[in-house]
Amino acid sequence: MTGSRVMNVDPSDGHRPSRGGTRKAELVALASRMFREHGYHGVGMRALADAAGMQAASLYHHFRSKEELLLHTIYVVDRDMVVEQMPLLDGPESHAERLARLVRAHITHIGANRDAWLVAGRELRALSPDRLEAVQGYRRDYQRRIARHLAEGVDAGEFDCPDPRLATLAILDLINGPNEWFDPGGRLTIEQIADRYAEMVVRQLAPPAPTAGGGPTTRDGDT
């Protein structure tokens, strides 16, 4: 476990879902979509309630505040990133193979949770400091795990990469990109994009050639 987590801000409620916690999930999904379209501050509780066919005050039977509703939206993305995607870097396969698997899963997850991903990407600043810290902790863990994977791949001679830390940022820049422009009705499916982006990442890190013994470059020292 990397970053010492400060407090427990997990929004999952402790009480049983009785007949179904489905209503709450519906409201979170609806909020994700509206926050994505108009921004967190651009959507009022009354607009949310209207879209859900209820009154603004009734939302407070499901969420303590508007910000808690935002946290529910963001949490799905960041929790999955750490508990589902990150373990994909473990395993007996080659470093390139494991990294490609992560890239594909990451982009596929974006395709399946577009609303939440966009909100998670641009509405973080609306969170209270404690909750912001918790979410950013997840992201740090994710980023560090990838950086470690690259460094290990370089040490194993499987990757050619002059600056693994910057390469980590570049990879994240790349695989978070479809978040901004992916269109389900577009030319390519999310799986095709995932495959091709994974190829690009692997190609970027591939050692120059399987020719003579001139091994891959070593890492920079930190500046």
Partner DNA sequence: TCGCAGCCCTAACGATCGTTAGGCAACCCC
Partner DNA sequence: GGGGTTGCCTAACGATCGTTAGGGCTGCGA
**Coil, helix or strand for 7?**
coil
Residue placing its CB nearer to DNA in the complex, 45 or 175 = 45
**Alpha-carbon distance 141 to 2, whole Å?**
6
User: Tokens at residue 100, please?
Assistant: 């490609």
Q: What residues line the site for a copy of itself (CB under 8 A)?
A: 37-42, 122-123, 125-126, 162-163, 165-167, 169-170, 172-174, 176-178, 180-181, 187-188, 193, 196-197, 200, 203-204, 209, 222-223
Residue 203 interacts with which of DNA, a copy of itself, none, CB < 5 to 8 Å by class: a copy of itself
Chosen from DNA, a copy of itself, none, partner binding at 103 (C-beta under 5 to 8 Å by type): none
Least separation, in Å, of the C-beta of 35 and a copy of itself?
A: 11
94 contacts: CB under 8 Å, gap ≥ 6 = 158
Q: Of the ranges 37-45, 79-87, 176-184, 195-203, which one interacts with DNA (CB under 7 A)?
A: 37-45
Q: Which is nearer to DNA, 24 or 148 (CB)?
A: 24
* Residue 86 to residue 197: CA distance in whole angstroms: 18
Which residues have CB under 8 Å from 7's CB, separation 6+? Answer: 130, 134
* Size, binding site for DNA by CB under 7 A: 26
* Of residues 44 and 208, the one with the C-beta less far from DNA: 44
**The one among 54, 170, 172, 174 contacting DNA by CB under 7 A:** 54
| Cα 126 from chain centroid (whole Å) | 18
Among 5, 46, 140, 196, binds DNA (CB under 7 A): 46
Do the Cβ atoms of 26 and 59 come closer than 8 Å?
no
d(CA 163, CA 34): 39
* Burial class of residue 57 (count of CB atoms within 10 Å of its CB; 0-12, 13-18, 19+): exposed
- Interface with DNA by CB under 7 A: which residues? 15, 18-20, 23, 41, 43-47, 49, 53-62, 64-67
